[in-house]
Structure 1
Amino acid sequence: MGFRKIFSKLLMDERGISIAIDKKRKLLSRELSMRMKHTIKYGPFSNMVFCNDYWWGGSDRAAMLLGIYEEEVLNSIMSVPNKYDVFIDLGAADGYYSIGSLISKKFRTSYSFEISDKGREIIQKNATLNKLSHKLHLFGEATKDFYKNIPKKDLNRAVILIDIEGAEFSLLDREVLSHLKGSIIFIELHDWFFRDSEKKMAQLMSDAKPFFKFSKLTTTSRDLSKFPELLDYPDSERWLIASEGRSKLMTWLRLDPRLI
């Protein structure tokens, strides 16, 4: 077999393995979701119920139900001062944060932006299921003027979570950030999507610096021994349940206002 054919076969095998792993994660999530009655049992979002359907979070549902999905971000959000009682979610997917923030009772209202029609449908279903539709404001794509949908008094007491798959760099220029300077902002960074990633990161930091202080969060360890639901799972399946399927170590940027 020639070198090109060998290389091609190796690539196909690698893709096949990745697809198989993702399918297994979805199966495990579906199984655990059924066992847990689609209800989060642990963490600040406990008692949130998901509908049977999903748009984005199918592979991550098990970790969400155990309260360990993006645990570092979740804990940091829950640690913000009590003044911040408004939650704004850009790239809300199935509504895990948009609705979970309300379930936690730390936040009194939630603004949810999701570009996908299917995603908005699932968010609305989940809000209705948890009897929180009256506290959730649902919008489509988060454009540069998304903040105009939100009263100024709410912007100045908001936690904003941004997970928009690389569009954070085009959305968050200095003008937009100036309107958000009273908020605490969490940004899931997708800089590796771009060849000029260093330039994009430098520009984002430069635009944010007049208004915010910076800190970074990364994915850390998980303790799976505390969950009785996982005791009978093989080691490999337990760690697949904990996996968030990232292609690299994830980093989030937290921006705290310089002037409060």
Structure 2
Amino acid sequence: MRQATWNAIEGNPAVMRIYRSYRQLPEEVRAPARWLVAPLWHTACALVRRRATDAVLSGPFQGMKLLLSPVSSRHLLGYLLGTQELELHPIIEMVIRQNYGTVINVGVADGYYAIGFARRMPSTRIVGFEGLPEHHEPFWQTARMNGVADRIRVEGFCDTADLQNALAAAGPRPFVLCDIEGGEKALLDNSRIPELNQADILVETHDGLVPGCTSLLLERFGKTHDITSIYARPRSARDFPSDKLPFLAKWMPRTAVELMNERRTGVQEWLFMTARSGPGRDTSP
């Protein structure tokens, strides 16, 4: 579904009620209905999935096998295209160069980052947390497909004690990646988890869901970390992996750009926070 279409649905209460009723229909009814309503979109999605064959086509995790959830495979094709959160690509490469002993990923979801880091950082241990149980079995299937399941541990919902225990066991150079839809405001509290002061952290903030989240994290970590704010930007044809999908790029250029749209509301922002104490780090992009 195009972002403009979804915005129109969200903005109209009557249409939103119809959409919720549609969501209650069985999948065997909804699937053909989706194709009838948006044939161009679903044709483009099918082309991407066929070309990718469950592998990321570009970006820092190119070649990684990735089994997307049904919703992601229809609406978040940026993961397979390799363009998802492309603003973070320089940071990802920087993290890989640091060769951290442990990466802690809070909010594993489909496993894009947890498995991607495991593939690119073969000497690193990955500790993940994912509060939605339905993600766990597909995640492990994907980890096994990539041959990294033996270096990953994934648990359920992450609370303060869980994160503190993971950091305490991580050794002197942990890296924390956090994307939990606003939960970061409560979880990333260095007054309750002092071990965070020695960790490097990349966190997506969600002020649209939890107002004041970004400013509070800046206040908490401003004395212990060097902080860089990273903002999302609109996608363009230059971002699309045209060499992998030349037909789509040439004949459906607007749809190609829309496929990379990440369907966020408000301003998407990340904070990359590097601890001032601890071993020296290469912080060049």
Note whether the superposition's TM-score is higher than 0.5: yes
The equivalent of 1:114 in structure 2 is 130
Look up the match of 1:5: none
Aligned pair partner of 1:186 in 186, 191, 202: 202
The answer to whether residue 259 in structure 2 is matched with residue 259 in structure 1 is: no
The aligned runs of 1:65-104 (5 Å cut-off) are 65-80=80-95, 81-104=97-120
Question: 1:230 and 2:245 equivalent?
Answer: yes
Residues 204/225 of structure 1: CA separation in 2 closer, same or farther (3 Å cut): closer
Measure how far apart 1:228 and its partner are.
2.5
Q: Partners of 1:243 and 1:63 in 2: how far apart?
A: 7
1:112-152 per-residue CA deviation (whole Å, 9 max, x = no partner) reads 10001111122111111112110111110011112344363
**Structure 1 residues 89 and 130, CA, compared in 2 at 3 Å: closer, same or farther?**
same
For the residue of structure 2 that corresponds to 1:119, the secondary structure is: helix
Matched, 1:217 2:230: yes
1:169 alignment partner in structure 2: 185
Q: Is the 8 A contact 1:40 1:66 kept in 2?
A: yes
1:46 to 62, 82, 85: 62
Task: For residue 156 of structure 1, report the CA deviation from its aligned partner.
Answer: 2.9
What SS class does the counterpart of residue 136 from structure 2 fall into?
helix
- AA partner of residue 11 (structure 1): N
Q: Structure 2: which amino acid aligns with 1:237?
A: T
- Matches of 1:257 and 1:242, distance apart in 2: 32
Q: Is the 8 A contact 2:54 2:66 kept in 1?
A: yes
Shift of 1:13: 8.1
Which structure 2 residue ranges, 5 or more long, are not aligned?
A: 1-8, 24-33, 279-285
Specify the code of the residue in structure 1 equivalent to 2:258: L
Contact 2:167 2:195 in 1 (8 A): no
- 1:131-142 to structure 2, matched below 5 A, reads 131-142=147-158
Inter-CA distance 77–214: structure 2 relative to 1 (3 Å threshold): same
Distance of 1:255 and 1:156 partners within structure 2:
16
Q: TM-score under structure 2 normalisation? A: 0.75
**Matches of 1:55 and 1:137, distance apart in 2:** 24
Partner of 2:49: 33
Shift of 1:40: 1.2
1:57 positional shift = 3.1
CA distance in 1 between counterparts of 2:178 and 2:259 reads: 24
Structure 1 stretches of 5 or more lacking a match?
A: 1-7
How high is the sequence identity, in percent, across the aligned residues?
A: 21
